[in-house]
Amino acid sequence: MPPEDRTLQEELQVFEEHRHEWLSSNLGEFVVIVGSKVIGFHPDYESAFKAGLSAAGLGKNFLLRQVWAEEPVYLIY
């Protein structure tokens, strides 16, 4: 698979593998994942984004995702 087709696949796999354990300890927090490494959890998007940029570097991929049991649904009218 070409690198562009693997974008965030490793990070998404790490998130799914650990989501259930994080529900009890980090519910509602934002997790930052770079490759297979969990960088940390943050209470808000802004601090998580800054941590992701710091860990991955400018222009590099990282996953920033909020820990929820179910993904929220947003409706835009």
Per-residue pLDDT tens over the stretch 17-53? 999 999 999 999 999 999 999 999 999 999 999 999 9
Predicted structure pTM score:
0.85
Report the pLDDT value the prediction gives residue 1, as an integer from 0 to 100.
52
39 vs 3: which has the higher pLDDT: 39
Output phi, psi for 11, to 5 deg: -65, -45
Mean of the per-residue pLDDT values of the chain: 91
Amino acid identity of 11?
E
**Alpha-carbon distance 63 to 55, whole Å?**
11
Give the domain ranges of the chain.
3-66
Among residues 74, 18, 26, 23, the alpha carbon closest in space to that of 48 is found at 26
Q: What's the order of all strands across the beta sheet hosting 37-42?
A: 37-42, 30-34, 63-66
